[in-house]
Amino acid sequence: AMPAADLTANAVLNGQSARIDTRLTIGAALLTVAGTAPMGAGAMDLTANLRNLPASLASVADPSLHASGTIAANARLTGTTARPQGTIRLTASGVRVASGPGAAMPAADLTANAVLNGQSARVDTLLNVGPSHFTMTGTAPLGAGALDLRTAGRIDLAMLDPVLTAEGRRVRGILTLDTTIRGTTTAPLVAGTVRLARGGADDFTQGMHLSDIAAELRADGQRLQLVQFSGRAGPGTLSGSGTIDLRPPMPVHLQFVASNAEPIASDIVSARLDSRLTIAGDVSGTVLVDGTVFVRQANVQVPEKLPASVVTLPVRFAGAPPPPKPAAGQAGQATSTNIALHITVNAPQQVFIRGRGLDVELGGRIQVGGTATSPQLTGGLQMRYGTLSVVGQTLTFSSGTIEFTGASLSNPAIDLVATESTSTTVATLTVSGSAQNPKITLSSVPQLPQDEILAALLFQQSTGSLSPFQIAEIGAALASFSGATSGMGDPLDNMRKSLGLDRLGVGTSANGAPTVQAGRYVARGVYVGAQQSATGSGTQAIVQIDLAKGLRLQTTAGTGSTTATGASSGGDAASVGLTYQFQY
């Protein structure tokens, strides 16, 4: 696809020099070179012009590089090859990547001028990319020598959106540069400041969101100093400071503090925390990230499981090569710096796991070790309180742990157990697996069918003692656990959720009449609700307080046909009673 090229070259040799006249055309591009060139060391007097060179010719050097825009240049060179003099001017207009995510980035315009003066060059460069600009002026050596350059610029980080958005990331802010580069080419000394204002960073796949970032990095030739770093993470704040020595082995010492920060808030995990972390070591060797993280509150939301008929298929575009496999022992090693971790995560309480009927609070401690590329988590969280709501009934977990050993921070292993004992059966419901893919299993001693285990767990009865509505609820629960529930799910449970109720069900009164019951827990173990006859002839308010396992204080008031203890009554009634339930 390269355009045709035409070349005309004439040279007249004259001892130690040559008189040349060259003309090269490639499509619309034209390159001319004329004048006297030395044959070895000697004087020269050359003029060169380049016009309309398409940036797409870069694909000749790299077939994967597709670019658009035009490049032009002209030069007037005199002096000798050892001490050249003259001027060089280069311009590039509308240059941009023509394929991939970078194609949506703003086009770049470059103007570069250099005045050669024997052993050095006076440079003046201007680069514009959309609203961003960068300049470099000063003196640079032609080979080894002294540097005296000044750089300045204003970069709008939003221009990176086309590249970062494809990876689920986004950055915001205005980056301002004002630096000088002195010293020599072998030992440059950088001084000046780099400031970031109105900054922000988002990682949508991880749920990370930082805003109002302000930072200032100052260099004094031998050292970089983080003078200021501040920002917001949800309702809290972030701050940091420290230094990086530019001399080998480049020792670093940085401190970062978070107060009531919420750096991660996704559909799966959100957390508010305080932290104090120190980063110390040598950039050319090992850097240790050490400190503590105190979790004020964390929420792990268990997603609803997909129906059994939905299958996730691996998709690969036709003609696309398979993804490369990481080399053994090299995966994730982006730099030679080894970043070691020694972080203690202390979460004594208010770590909640909710979703799919779970409502669990935990607390504990986690130790994060290993390296940044391969973190090792040990420890876990122990259950403080937990319940599981199933088809309008609530089970209380008797024990539970969340283990992070060998698991990621956002997908820990779950082990929650609820047990209900009767005179003949010990029924157990276990929630295991991971936070993103929990598994619910039923077991009993002696071993019983699944519906019998659920009847003992939910109603402390055998299936032979259940009403038709309760049997239907047992079936809906089994379908939910197995993942075979249809897209509509359990209509009664869907209505309960939409009304914000903890309990909504259809039962029977003491005389066998159908009733509708609804209510919610206003505190732990305190239930407030109402029940009404399906015929609309009686309504009762109910307050139940769990005093101990199986022992409950219950009060009723209204026009119901039963008292708190289940005895028949007529007309308006109010009662207070104790109930104790067991199976014999």
- Over range 499-507, report the average pLDDT: 64
Choice between 336 and 138, residue whose per-residue pLDDT is larger: 138
**Residue 377 — pLDDT band, cuts 50, 70, 90?**
confident
Q: Which residues of 200-228 are buried (b: 16+ CB within 10 A; e: fewer)?
A: bbbbeeebbbbbebebbbbbeeeebebee
pLDDT above 70 (res 464): no
Highest mean pLDDT among 68-72, 535-539, 547-551: 68-72
Choice between 396 and 161, residue whose per-residue pLDDT is larger: 161
For residue range 25-39, list pLDDT tens digits in order.
988 899 999 999 988
* Strands 132-141, 120-129: pairing kind: antiparallel
Q: What is the pLDDT of residue 289?
A: 95
Which amino acid does the sequence have at 354?
R
C-beta of residue 455 within 8 angstroms of C-beta of residue 475: no
Q: Considering only CA atoms, which of 466, 390, 463, 461 is closest in space to residue 422?
A: 461
What's the whole-number average pLDDT of the chain?
81
C-beta of residue 66 within 8 angstroms of C-beta of residue 98: yes
pLDDT above 50 (res 417): yes
Q: What is the pLDDT of residue 567?
A: 47
Q: What is the pLDDT of residue 401?
A: 85
Highest mean pLDDT among 102-106, 255-259, 313-317, 362-366: 255-259
Least confident stretch, 366-380, 408-422, 568-582: 568-582
Tokens of 119: 């052993």
For residue range 199-214, list pLDDT tens digits in order.
999 998 878 899 999 9
- Over range 268-278, report the average pLDDT: 91
What are 415's strand-pairing partners? 401
Torsions phi, psi for 474 (to 5 deg): -60, -45
C-beta of residue 568 within 8 angstroms of C-beta of residue 580: no
Q: Considering only CA atoms, which of 5, 79, 89 is closest in space to residue 35?
A: 79
Q: What is the pLDDT of residue 583?
A: 41
pTM exceeds 0.85: no
**Residue 568 — pLDDT band, cuts 50, 70, 90?**
very low
- Over range 493-508, report the average pLDDT: 62
Rg (CA), the chain: 37
C-beta of residue 238 within 8 angstroms of C-beta of residue 254: no
C-beta of residue 206 within 8 angstroms of C-beta of residue 266: yes
Least confident stretch, 12-16, 50-54, 235-239, 522-526: 522-526
Q: How far apart are CA 370 and CA 385, in angstroms?
A: 32
**Residue 152 — pLDDT band, cuts 50, 70, 90?**
very high
**Residue 321 — pLDDT band, cuts 50, 70, 90?**
low
pLDDT above 90 (res 231): yes
Q: Which residue has the tokens 């103007």?
A: 111
**Residue 564 — pLDDT band, cuts 50, 70, 90?**
very low
- Over range 67-85, report the average pLDDT: 93
Choice between 196 and 81, residue whose per-residue pLDDT is larger: 196
Q: What is the pLDDT of residue 280?
A: 95
Choice between 478 and 397, residue whose per-residue pLDDT is larger: 397
Q: How far apart are CA 237 and CA 120, in angstroms?
A: 49
pLDDT above 70 (res 478): no
The secondary structure of residue 159, as a DSSP letter, is: G
Q: What is the pLDDT of residue 546?
A: 73
Choice between 300 and 243, residue whose per-residue pLDDT is larger: 243
- Over range 255-274, report the average pLDDT: 90
pLDDT above 50 (res 424): yes
Q: What is the pLDDT of residue 47?
A: 96
C-beta of residue 77 within 8 angstroms of C-beta of residue 85: yes
Could you give the 3-state DSSP secondary structure of residue 55? Answer: helix
Q: What is the pLDDT of residue 192?
A: 96
Q: How many CB atoms lie within 10 A of CB 21?
A: 13
For residue range 12-65, list pLDDT tens digits in order.
988 788 999 999 998 889 999 999 998 877 889 999 999 999 988 877 777 777
**Residue 180 — pLDDT band, cuts 50, 70, 90?**
very high
Least confident stretch, 193-207, 416-430, 455-469, 541-555: 455-469
For residue range 83-132, list pLDDT tens digits in order.
999 999 999 999 988 887 778 889 999 999 999 998 999 999 999 999 99
C-beta of residue 554 within 8 angstroms of C-beta of residue 541: no
Q: Considering only CA atoms, which of 393, 398, 386 is closest in space to residue 358?
A: 386
Could you give the 3-state DSSP secondary structure of residue 476? Answer: helix
Q: Considering only CA atoms, which of 222, 211, 278 is closest in space to residue 250?
A: 222
Which amino acid does the sequence have at 561?
S
- Over range 173-177, report the average pLDDT: 97
Tokens of 508: 């029977």
Q: Which residue has the tokens 């995966």?
A: 331
- Over range 152-166, report the average pLDDT: 91
